[in-house]
Amino acid sequence: DAGVIQSPRHEVTEMGQEVTLRCKPISGHNSLFWYRQTMMRGLELLIYFNNNVPIDDSGMPEDRFSAKMPNASFSTLKIQPSEPRDSAVYFCASTLGLAGVAGELFFGEGSRLTVL
């Protein structure tokens, strides 16, 4: 398996533009997570899905952020409109959640977003 695949790897955009980050989890994994990493705040969980259903989006900073998982092999994180403070590395991760038992998270390479 190629692991968790994220795109784009790097994105530079101007304030006010829409940003869409994409993620393909590992085949067979049933839980998917979006994390944001900054120097100031570390690794923050934004939202996670179980069997394509959003379970907890309490970490989504504001209404400008939205996430979808239309099927088991694809998820998007959208920021509209983007702001400079959204600049960060966004990681997608997946895991094989068995009966609610926690296990290893497999992270993608991350998408480095810079909003000018």
Partner 1 sequence: GENVEQHPSTLSVQEGDSAVIKCTYSDSASNYFPWYKQELGKRPQLIIDIRSNVGEKKDQRIAVTLNKTAKHFSLHITETQPEDSAVYFCAASMSGTASKLTFGTGTRLQVTL
Residue 33 interacting with partner 1 (CB under 8 A): yes
Contact residue for partner 1 among 50, 66, 73, 87 (CB under 8 A):
50
Quickly list DSSP for the chain.
Answer: ----EEE-SEEEE-TT--EEEEEEPPTT--EEEEEEEETTTEEEEEEEEETTEEEE-TT--STTEEEEEEETTEEEEEESS--GGG-EEEEEEEE--BTTB----EE---EEEEE-
Under rule CB under 8 A, which residues in 57-86 are in contact with partner 1?
A: 58
Among 43, 80, 84, 116, binds partner 1 (CB under 8 A): 43
From the CB of 114, what's the least distance to partner 1, in Å? 15
The reply to whether 49 sits near partner 1 by the rule CB under 8 A is no
Q: In the bound complex, what is the minimum distance in angstroms from residue 109's beta carbon to partner 1?
A: 6
Establish if 53 lies at the interface with partner 1 (CB under 8 A): no
